[in-house]
Amino acid sequence: MISDQSTVFVEMADELKKRFGCFAEGMVVTVCPMLVVIAIDKVDLKVYGHHAFSAMLTMAAITLILGICPFIICWFSGPSIRPVLVTAILATLSSCSLLILTCFIAQLVVPEITLIILGVVFGFLVLLRAVLYYHRGNFVECQHDKILNESHEFLTGVTGVLFLGLEGLALEGHDDPMFEKGGPVAIASFILCATGVCMMYLEMTPPIDFTAGHIVRLTVTLDSFMAGGIFTLLMVIMFKLMRVPALLLLLPPLVIILELVYRVHIIHPAAVQMSVPASLELTKVTFTGFLAVSITVIRNTSPSKLTGCFLLFAAAAIVFGLSWRLLSQKNIRQSFTGTVSREYFDASVNLASLGTHVCIVIATVLLLAMAWTARGKPCYEMKPCTA
C-alpha cells in the first residue's frame, strides 16, 4: 500500500515537473526576445525615459528568474518532497511580473487609459485566483495533471508567439512615429497576451477539489477561448489588409466541422489508433512568419498579391494547425465522450493535419516567390538604406 502511494506521488511529481518546465519555457520565449532587442540597441532610451527603461529591464529579469526557479526546485526536490506551496508562490510572482512587463511593452501601441484599465482588470484576476488558492490551505498536487499539462502546453505555446507579435508591434511603433496607436490589432494582441498569462497561471494553480470532468471542462473552455481569440486576431489582421477576401479564412474550421458532421451522420470509418496530442511546432513557426510579414505591411493599404496570398495561406495553416492540436488533445476527446466516437475524431485529426501541411507548403512556395521578387529590387524601393 505504501509502495503504491509512493508510486502515485512520484508520477504526480513528474507531471508537475513537466508543467513547470513548460511554464519556464514560456517565460523564456516571452521575455528573451525583448532582451535581445535591447541588447542589440534597437530601442531608443529616450522613447521610454531612463526610469521606465530601467524598471522594464528590472521587471524582465525578475520575471525570467521567477519563471525558471519553480522548475529548478521541482527538478532538485526528492520524490518524498512536494514543494507545491513554494512553486505556486513563485508562479504567482512571475505571472504578476509578466503582466506588468506586458504593459511596459504595449505602452507604445496601446492608449494609456486602455492600458491602465485592462492592466488593473487582469492583475485583479491573477490576485483573486491567488487569494482563493492560498485560502484553501491544502497544497497537494492535482490528480489530473496529465490533462492540465496538455492544455498548459497549448496555452504556453500560443501565448509565447503572441508575445513575439506584440513585441514586434511595439518595435514598429517605436521606429515609426506615424504608427497607428490604439489600433484593433495592437489592442487585440495585448488582450490576448494578458489573457494567456492569466490562463497559464490558472492552470499552474488549479482547483484541487475539481473532479476529472470539471478539469476537462475547464481546460476545454480555456483552450477554446484562446484558439477563438487567435482566430479573431487573424481575421482582424487579414480584414485590415485584404477586406472581403479575408473571409476565406472561415473555410478551414468550416471544412473540419462539416467533415466531422458528415462522418457522424453518414459514414462509419474503421477504427484508427489513438493519436497523441499534435505538436505545436509547425503552427508556432508559421505563426511567427505570419506575424513578421503582417507587421511590416500592416500600414500598407494595398499589399502585393504575393504577400496577400502568403498571409492568407499562412493564416489558414495556423487555423488548421490549432484545430489539429485541439482535436488530438485528451480533454477535447473526453468532453465529447458518448457523443462523438474516437474514430471520428481521428479522421478529423487526419484532415486537419493534411490541411496544415498543404497550406504550409503553399505558403513556403509563396514566400520563396516573394524573396525572388524582392531580390531584384533596388534598395530604395524596399527600405531606405542606412549608413
Q: How many CB atoms lie within 10 A of CB 2?
A: 6
In the numeric block, the cell 481575421 is attached to: 235
Burial per residue of 229-262, b for 16 or more beta-carbon CB atoms within 10 angstroms, e otherwise: bbbebbbbbbebbbeeebeebeebbebbeebbee
Supply the Cα-derived Rg of the chain in whole angstroms. 22
In the numeric block, the cell 477554446 is attached to: 224
Q: What is the pLDDT of residue 300?
A: 61
CA atoms within 13 A on the CB side of 221: 9
Q: DSSP class of residue 82? A: -
End-to-end CA distance of the chain: 74
**13 neighbors 79 (Cβ within 8 angstroms):** yes
Residue 42 CA to residue 37 CA, distance in Å, equals 5
In the numeric block, the cell 477576401 is attached to: 245
Q: What is the pLDDT of residue 380?
A: 43
Helix (H, G, I), strand (E, B) or coil at 206: coil
List the alpha helices (DSSP H) in 82-144: 84-106, 112-136
What are the structural domain ranges in the chain? Answer: 1-209, 242-373
Residue 249 CA to residue 238 CA, distance in Å, equals 9
Q: Pick from 263, 303, 266, 110: which is nearest to 190 by CA?
A: 110
Q: Residue 88 corresponds to which cell in the numbers above?
A: 505556486
Q: How many CB atoms lie within 10 A of CB 292?
A: 12
The whole-angstrom distance between residue 155's C-alpha and the CA centroid of its chain comes to 5
- Tens-digit pLDDT profile for the chain (387 aa)? 444 444 444 555 677 788 888 888 889 988 888 888 777 766 666 666 677 777 888 888 899 998 898 888 877 775 555 566 778 888 899 999 999 999 988 888 888 899 999 999 999 999 999 888 887 755 555 566 777 888 899 999 899 889 988 888 887 766 655 456 767 888 999 999 999 999 999 988 887 777 778 888 889 899 999 999 999 999 988 888 888 888 899 999 999 888 887 776 666 554 545 567 788 888 989 998 898 888 877 766 567 888 889 999 999 999 999 999 998 887 777 777 666 667 777 788 889 999 999 999 999 999 999 888 876 565 444 444 443
**13 neighbors 74 (Cβ within 8 angstroms):** yes
Entry pTM: 0.84
Q: What is the pLDDT of residue 200?
A: 92
Q: What is the pLDDT of residue 15?
A: 72
Q: DSSP class of residue 266? A: T
Which amino acid is located at 346 in the chain? D
Q: What is the pLDDT of residue 2?
A: 44
Instruction: Give Cα separations from 49 to 40, 53, 54, 282, 342 (angstroms).
Output: 18, 6, 9, 38, 57
Q: Is 180 left (phi over 0), alpha (psi -120 to 50) or beta?
A: beta
Residue 168 CA to residue 295 CA, distance in Å, equals 7
In the numeric block, the cell 525558471 is attached to: 68
Q: What is the pLDDT of residue 384?
A: 47
Q: What angle do CA 239, 245, 251 make, to 5 degrees?
A: 100
Residue 317 CA to residue 353 CA, distance in Å, equals 9
The whole-angstrom distance between residue 178's C-alpha and the CA centroid of its chain comes to 29
